[in-house]
Amino acid sequence: MATTSGKPSDFNTIAYFSMEVGIDPAMPTYSGGLGVLAGDTLRAAADLAIPMVGVTLLHRKGYFRQRLDDRGNQSESPFDWHPEESLEPLKARVSVTIEGRAMKIRAWRYLVRGVTGHIVPLYFLDTDLPENSPWDRTLTDSLYGGD
């Protein structure tokens, strides 16, 4: 593998980034095709012992639950879940500047285990931290939440 300097590198791990990842039906971190594809890609990498790491956002409210009334009208409600029941919180924090504001981000980890025992770590990035403003704490809340 070549680096930007053109010299070979010993670091050969693939980083897979996706807005959504469908890895467990109990975790509302996907809405459809893209998430299912991302989850299948990570599971296949684990099964084939491919060195890979996944990165996505922690959507605490997930993608909405859809309800249809008797007349066929749709209404949505949040799909609240508890990440601590499925994910491992990591202590590390990073600070990034977005629109002139310093924002703290933490990660949660989920281990995707393949049939061979190989593990592909999946990291969920989260802005819901007390040191962030109330607005910034909600930035990763909902999958495709709109403006």
How does DSSP assign 33-79, residue by residue?
HHHHHHHHHHHHHHHTT--EEEEEE--TTBSPEEEE-TT--EEEE--
- pLDDT tens-digit readout, 12-22: 899 999 999 99
Percent of the chain whose pLDDT exceeds 90: 58
Considering the domain boundaries, does residue 3 fall inside one? Answer: no
CB distance 141 to 61 below 8 Å: yes
Nearest to 83 by CA among 27, 139, 125: 27
Specify the pLDDT at position 129. 96
Total domain count, the chain: 1
pLDDT band at residue 61 using 50, 70 and 90 as cut-offs = confident
Specify the pLDDT at position 63. 66
Specify the pLDDT at position 28. 84
Residue 114 has pLDDT above 80, yes or no: yes
Considering the domain boundaries, does residue 90 fall inside one? Answer: yes
Specify the pLDDT at position 2. 44
Torsion, Cα of 125, 63, 42, 124 (10° steps): 10
For the ranges 2-6, 74-78, 127-131, the one whose mean pLDDT is highest: 127-131
Specify the pLDDT at position 1. 47
Considering the domain boundaries, does residue 9 fall inside one? Answer: no
Mean pLDDT across 50-59: 94
Strand partners, 108: 89, 124
Indicate the range of 51-60, 66-75, 127-136 predicted with least confidence: 66-75
Considering the domain boundaries, does residue 64 fall inside one? Answer: yes
Considering the domain boundaries, does residue 83 fall inside one? Answer: yes
Nearest to 28 by CA among 66, 73, 68: 66
At 22 the three-state DSSP class reads coil
Considering the domain boundaries, does residue 7 fall inside one? Answer: no
The domain in which residue 19 lies consists of 14-137
